[in-house]
């Protein structure tokens, strides 16, 4: 074999290896251009209608996409309900009595099946809905990469271990993000999704009374904010009471989340740790995003595309579910 052929073969082999390594490359912005050109408009219409009944719906939907992608990739696995061979992820600790918006996903799926039967995956619905939710709330827009297929399996155990918990240390969060190929800038940018939506007292009340067995509150919590939160979440009150993740602008997608962190007004322990955890790169990212909304928006859009590219099923893997709750 002449040397030039060997070189060509080596390059071809390298391309194949690299192609297999990057899941993102297999998704495309115009994936439904021919098969369902109106897919995004349909998702948007259903979301706009749902938002008239529930201002929080956009926040619920982007969180579903996050919890989907962190567990066996962005494959719609979180949407599967308990069935023969399926231990629903909805019963995992991070999701139970917490994740919501499933009925709106079903409405989107029904509208899409009506327009283009058997074409648009449930995993892609979550990716499109996340982008629409953010832009409807005043945040950035981005081109959503599409072409994911739906899993035939769910993994409740992985949902219990892979999704960050609100009592994780910064090191725990960083390692959970690293496990899905996301770095500390992605961690800070994506945490900015806590600029809208709500959290239950049970997810942060440990900060208010006896933090880590100290007998006092979390020292990184602003004292006026502490008093407000103690009123919302009394010590033996209902842990399911909800409050705004971003008290300064609860329903808009802006960079106030980061300003809050600088003012010791992060709601979750895991929010405040990004700024108070003394890890230089997360602190500097918080400062950068607090100082420039457009830097936050650019970073958020990039990180959403990255998160949306976690281990998708493509080609002939998986299936296009007819009903997001069940395998075909």
Ligand X SMILES: *[C@@H]1O[C@H](CO)[C@@H](O)[C@H](O)[C@H]1NC(C)=O
For the annotated catalytic residues, the residue numbers are 67
What string of DSSP letters covers 95-137?
A: TTTT---HHHHHHHHHHHHHHSTTTS-HHHHHHHHHHHHHHHT
Structure tokens at 199: 């959290």
41 binds, among ligand HEM, ligand X, none (CB under 5 to 8 A by kind): ligand X
Residue in the block written with tokens 């992605």: 186
Tell which one of 13, 15, 171, 179 touches ligand X (CB under 6 A).
Answer: 171
Buried b or exposed e, range 47-82, using 16+ CB within 10 angstroms: beebbeeeebbbbbbbbbbbbbbbbbbbbbbbbbee
Tell which one of 100, 120, 285, 320 touches ligand HEM (CB under 6 A).
Answer: 100
* Stretch of 28-36, 55-63, 161-169, 267-275 lying at the interface with ligand X (CB under 6 A): 161-169
* Stretch of 14-22, 23-31, 34-42, 285-293 lying at the interface with ligand X (CB under 6 A): 34-42
Interaction between residue 203 and ligand HEM (CB under 6 A): yes
Beta-carbon-side half-sphere exposure of residue 199 (alpha carbons within 13 Å): 23
The 230-269 contact track toward ligand HEM, x by CB under 6 A, reads: ---------------x----------------------x-
In the complex with ligand X, the residue whose CB is nearer, 79 or 162, is: 162
Question: Exposed, middle or buried: residue 15 (CB in 10 Å: 0-12, 13-18, 19+)?
Answer: exposed
Tell which one of 22, 35, 97, 252 touches ligand X (CB under 6 A).
Answer: 97
312 binds, among ligand X, ligand HEM, none (CB under 5 to 8 A by kind): none
Tell which one of 27, 42, 62, 170 touches ligand HEM (CB under 6 A).
Answer: 62
How far is residue 250 from each of residues 92, 97, 260, measured CA to CA in Å? 27, 21, 12
In the complex with ligand HEM, the residue whose CB is nearer, 44 or 207, is: 207
Q: 77: closest CA among 85, 89, 66?
A: 89
Residue in the block written with tokens 């609860």: 250
Q: Which residues within the stretch 224-253 sit at the binding site for ligand X (CB under 6 A)?
A: 240
3-class DSSP state of 20: helix
Structure tokens at 163: 């999704």
Q: Are 258 and 201 in contact (CB under 8 A)?
A: no
Interaction between residue 45 and ligand X (CB under 6 A): yes
3-class DSSP state of 68: helix
* Stretch of 3-11, 62-70, 119-127, 319-327 lying at the interface with ligand HEM (CB under 6 A): 62-70
In the complex with ligand X, the residue whose CB is nearer, 14 or 171, is: 171
List interacting residues with ligand X (CB under 6 A): 38, 41-42, 45, 97, 165, 168-169, 171-172, 210, 213, 215, 240
Annotated binding site for substrate: 164
* Binding site members for heme b: 194
Question: Residue ranges for the binding site for Ca(2+)?
Answer: 68, 71, 73, 75, 77, 89, 195, 246, 254
């Amino acid at each position: 074999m002449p040397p030039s052929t060997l070189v060509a073969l080596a390059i071809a082999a390298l391309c194949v290896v690299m192609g297999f390594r990057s899941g993102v490359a297999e998704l495309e912005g115009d994936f439904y251009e021919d098969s369902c050109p109106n897919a995004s408009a349909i998702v948007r219409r259903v979301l706009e209608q749902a938002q008239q009944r529930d201002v929080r719906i956009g926040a619920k939907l982007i969180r579903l996409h996050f919890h989907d992608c962190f567990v066996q990739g962005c494959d719609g696995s979180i949407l599967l309900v308990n069935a023969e061979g399926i231990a629903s992820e909805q019963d995992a600790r991070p999701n139970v009595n917490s994740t919501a918006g499933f009925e709106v996903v079903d409405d989107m799926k029904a509208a899409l099946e009506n327009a283009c039967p058997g074409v648009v995956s449930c995993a892609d619905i979550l990716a499109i809905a996340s982008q629409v939710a953010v832009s409807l709330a005043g945040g950035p827009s981005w081109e959503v990469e599409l072409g994911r297929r739906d899993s035939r399996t769910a993994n409740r155990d992985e949902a219990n271990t892979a999704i960050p918990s609100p009592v994780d240390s910064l090191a725990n969060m960083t390692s959970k993000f690293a496990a899905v190929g996301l770095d500390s800038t992605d961690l800070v940018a994506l945490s900015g999704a806590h600029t809208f939506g709500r959290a239950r007292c049970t997810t942060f009340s440990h900060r208010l009374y006896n933090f880590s067995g100290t007998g006092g509150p979390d020292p990184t919590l602003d004292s006026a904010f502490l008093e407000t939160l103690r009123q919302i979440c009394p010590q033996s009150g209902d842990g399911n009471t909800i409050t705004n993740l971003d008290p300064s602008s609860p329903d808009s997608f802006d960079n106030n989340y980061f300003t809050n962190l600088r003012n010791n007004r992060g709601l979750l322990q895991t929010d405040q740790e990004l700024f108070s955890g003394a890890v230089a790169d997360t602190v500097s990212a918080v400062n950068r995003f607090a100082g420039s909304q457009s830097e936050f928006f650019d970073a958020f859009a990039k990180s959403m595309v990255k998160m949306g590219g976690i281990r998708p099923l493509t080609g002939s893997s998986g299936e296009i579910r007819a009903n997001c709750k069940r395998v075909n």
